[in-house]
Structure 1
Amino acid sequence: MAETAVEDWRKSSFSNLSGECVEFGRSADGGVMLRDSKDPAGAVLAFTPGEWRAFLAGVRNAEFDV
């Protein structure tokens, strides 16, 4: 599991001004962290570098299209 400390949380450039965004950051071990921008003290999804690469490969291969 990735470490949860993230120094620099960022939002997508596609985010709107309503504040309903997902923020992401990198942990010290290279993992990817995701959180709800409306609740920065709330739950964080943590992905190891390998898990994140597998997720991105699935997106690129349209594995999650409905």
Structure 2
Amino acid sequence: MIEIPEQLRGRAVVDLWPTTGELLGMGRNQTYAAAKAGEIPTFRVGVRWKVPTAKLLDLLGLSDQTPAA
């Protein structure tokens, strides 16, 4: 079984950058471009871009696992 990254444990949402981008192996500009293109599911909270942890786990191929608290 693949270990869930520590940055995702017990969190419902994470920042688009740097957390999501780094976990996906993307640079900052590439991460924001992918979000704007709809390749990374996001929503805005003020000026911050957020990513639901469950959707990020899907992108990472870890959707069968639940983040532990």
Give TM-score scaled by structure 2 length.
0.29
Higher helix share: 2
Of structures 1 and 2, the one scoring higher in RCO (CA 8 A, sep 6+) is 2
Give the structure with higher Rg (CA): 1
Q: Which has the higher strand share?
A: 1
TM-score (norm. length: structure 1): 0.30
